[in-house]
Amino acid sequence: MNSLDYVREEFKPYRYTLKNSATIIDSSSGKLVLKKQNKDLYNLFNYLDSRGFTNYPKVIRNFQDRDLLYEYIEDYSPFNEQKLLDLESVISSLHNKTVFFKSTNIDNYKEIRDVVLENINFLEFNYNILFKNVLYKTFLNPAEYLFARNFFHIKRAFNYCRENIHKWYDLSSSNTKERVSIVHNNLALEHFLSDTNKQALISWDNYAIDTPILDIVNLYHKEYMNYDFSEFLSKYFQHFELRENEKILFFVLIRMPLLMPNINFTVIDTGKVREVLDYVYKSEQLIRPYDTPQEQ
């Protein structure tokens, strides 16, 4: 019996609603969610349950065709600022309950350092070209002037990242074990549901075993424009204390300027320039309380 046949026979549905990759089913027994799994999520959830982590939708049935039938969780949280802090509690719990050490070697650290440096060099090269094109102009429009006047903040971010990725490598390269955990790897407020009975992370298809900081970096990149992350980060560091080398790598990934949007200075669009600068300013302010004195 396939998943839809089972749902029809067992729950007598009267409405199907497609939402992204899931099917929401209204039935006489209540709401359900049917979704195809791209990974073996059933075994993942069993593992999480064995570790005492239950902040995921309850699986009602696992089908041979890789569909999973879940309970439906209504998201009642009206204040996203509070929801962000609730998410912190859940994600720090996930990291704490699944963390372990795995063997590694210097080649792994070299690869991470080299990938980060390649990203820094690529991004900086593109920003430098943009700056030179503006610098050679006699008259600047408002967007160009805004970019040129604040370019030193972008350069400062690149210098910080380059200096500290080498510092991270020096601290890490002699370690024979690295700390990893289950990471959701698709963290966003829209993937966190909260009702009166349960808080749950959904959309686990990208989960991995990796450094826990990936979840916080991904979440910040998605939500930085909308919320102040200072309290979130403070609470996360209290609940899941990062080691010195982990914290340095986290700060590097946060400080690195994002790939610039398609800025066309011939069309006066200060919004796109402001988007670039906002990320740089917000990230610098976020990690400033944790920097060493010479960085402040």
Domain boundary pick from 38, 72, 106: 72
pTM for the whole structure? 0.90
Flag the least confident range among 190-194, 195-199, 264-268.
Answer: 264-268
CATH number of residue 7's parent domain = 3.30.200.20
Model confidence over 107-163: pLDDT tens digits?
999 999 999 999 999 999 999 999 998 988 889 999 999 999 999 999 999 999 999
Q: Is residue 88 part of a domain?
A: no
The pLDDT of residue 262:
77
Domain with residue 151: its CATH number is: 3.90.1200.10
In the three-class reduction of DSSP (H, G, I as helix; E, B as strand; rest coil), residue 158 is classed as helix
Cβ-Cβ contacts under 8 Å for 181 (sequence gap 6 or more) = 94, 95, 98, 99, 100, 209, 210, 211, 212
132 and 236 together in one domain = yes
